[in-house]
Amino acid sequence: MILLEQVTKRYPSLRGPIQVLKGIDMNVSMGEKIGIIGRNGAGKSTLIRLIGGGEKPTTGTITRTMSISWPIAFSGGFQSSLTGRDNLRFICRIYGQDPMEKLPFVQDFSELGDFLDQPIKIYSSGMKARLAFAISMAIDFDCLLIDEVMAVGDAKFNAKSKEELFEKRAHKAMIIVSHNMRYIKSNCNRVYLMDDGRLQHFEDVAEGIAAHQAMMAS
């Protein structure tokens, strides 16, 4: 389970503190698919960062009894002068996994061929995204964080990654941030609508999406 209680997040700025999250209550249980929707700048990505644990809340508590992934297909932790293989090794080491055991899957799934032994800086953005996605899938977590990623590759790769994520990992908990309401509708059991640093909870996904659309129209 992941439990957020009265979580706030303030960032300092030259014009005084900016309050991004204003008292968030949220819970995610094993296997649930949670959608987070809201307009740009509402605080969705900040929330994801806090849930992931890369940052601490200013006040409030986050309790985790599940292991949580880094944002799926996030390639920011890669070192661009290192090869794809070296980056895979690094991630595996951090999470205590055997790189040799994960290599065949990543090699196969990313379809990088010999490029796996080239430095990442020469990769196209599609290649980089494919590698990042494959590495994300190589490590096993209870809860997957998905922050707007589904447009990572060509149509074929998208179909393949969708299958990997939503069919092979259908039993995993997921927290999905997206502006694509069709995507939210077909993958989530519950949604939270974020507006100005606050969350509104909807048991019914369609209801949440309607509220979101009403908000966007206003």
Partner 1 sequence: MTKPVPPGLGGTFLEQWMVQRRVIGALLMREMLTRYGRRNIGFLWLFVEPMMVTLTVAAVWTARGFHQISDIPIVSFVITGYSGIQLWRNMSRRCINAIEPNQSLLRHRPVKMLDIYLARMLLEVAGTTTSFALLCVVFLLFSNQISPPENILQVVFAWFLLAWFSMGMSITLGALSELTPLVNKFWPPMIYILYPLSGAMFLVDTLPHGMRQVVLYIPIVHANEMLRDGFFGSHFHAYYDLSYLVAWCMGLCIVGLGISRLTVEHRLS
Among the residue ranges 88-96, 178-186, 187-195, 208-216, the one whose residues contact partner 1 (CB under 8 A): 88-96
12: contact with partner 1 by CB under 8 A: yes
CA distance 100 to 175: 29
Q: Which is nearer to partner 1, 78 or 202 (CB)?
A: 78
- Single out the residue of 1, 8, 39, 82 in contact with partner 1 (rule: CB under 8 A): 82
Q: How far is the CB of 137 from partner 1 (least distance, A)?
A: 10
Q: How far is the CB of 111 from partner 1 (least distance, A)?
A: 21
Residue 37 Cα distances to 44, 74, 92, 138, angstroms: 7, 19, 31, 27
Give the helix ranges, DSSP H, for 70-154: 84-94, 99-110, 125-138
List the interface residues with partner 1, window 92-131 (CB under 8 A): 93-98
Report which of 216, 187, 192 is spatially closest to residue 7, judged by C-alpha positions: 192
Secondary structure of residue 61 in the 3-state scheme: strand
E strands, the chain, are: 2-11, 18-28, 33-38, 59-64, 143-147, 173-177, 190-195, 198-202
- Single out the residue of 70, 109, 133, 202 in contact with partner 1 (rule: CB under 8 A): 70
- Single out the residue of 91, 135, 174, 184 in contact with partner 1 (rule: CB under 8 A): 91
- 48's tokens: 């994801």
Residues within the interface to partner 1 (CB under 8 A) = 11-13, 46, 49, 52-56, 58, 64-68, 70-71, 74, 76-77, 79, 81-82, 86, 89-91, 93-98, 139-142
